[in-house]
């Protein structure tokens, strides 16, 4: 996985030519550490279909809006449109 910064966001994500999964992560985040091997596996197995990149967070706990506000060059569309829907994805009822 590649680390993405404000300076590289456009080239690494918006102009990638493939779908890009961007993981907003931090060393102190337990769920982030648990998810890291899964995302590394996806990045390795699906290399021709998608890219997996990381944006490293600061030292304090955050919510999605705070994180994107700290990365002021990230697109406003991601902040206003996609995150509320993504945050609720895990609340959908399971189909068995």
What is the secondary structure of 54-73 as a DSSP string? Answer: EEE--SS---HHHHHHHSTT
Q: Which of 20, 21, 32, 83 is catalytic?
A: 32
Question: Percentage of the chain with pLDDT > 70?
Answer: 51
* pTM over cut 0.75: no
* Angle at the Cα of 50 from the Cα atoms of 44 and 51, rounded to 5 degrees: 70
Q: Does 42 qualify as catalytic in the annotation?
A: no
Higher-pLDDT residue of 45, 59: 45
- The full set of domain ranges for the chain reads 2-91
Q: Name 10's Cβ contacts closer than 8 Å, sequence gap at least 6.
A: none
The CATH architecture to which 2-91 belongs is: 3-Layer(aba) Sandwich (3.40)
- List pLDDT tens digits, range 52-79: 766 666 544 445 444 444 444 555 544 4
Q: Does 29 qualify as catalytic in the annotation?
A: yes
Q: Which of 1, 29, 42, 67 is catalytic?
A: 29
């Amino acid at each position: 996985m590649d680390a993405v910064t404000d300076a590289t966001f456009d080239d690494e994500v918006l102009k990638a030519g493939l779908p890009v999964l961007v993981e907003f992560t931090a060393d102190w985040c337990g769920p982030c550490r648990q998810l890291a091997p899964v995302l590394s596996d996806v990045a390795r197995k699906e290399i021709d279909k998608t890219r997996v990149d990381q944006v490293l967070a600061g030292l304090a706990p955050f919510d999605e809006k705070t994180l994107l506000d700290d990365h002021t060059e990230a697109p406003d569309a991601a902040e206003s449109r996609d995150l509320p829907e993504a945050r609720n994805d895990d609340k959908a009822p399971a189909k068995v």
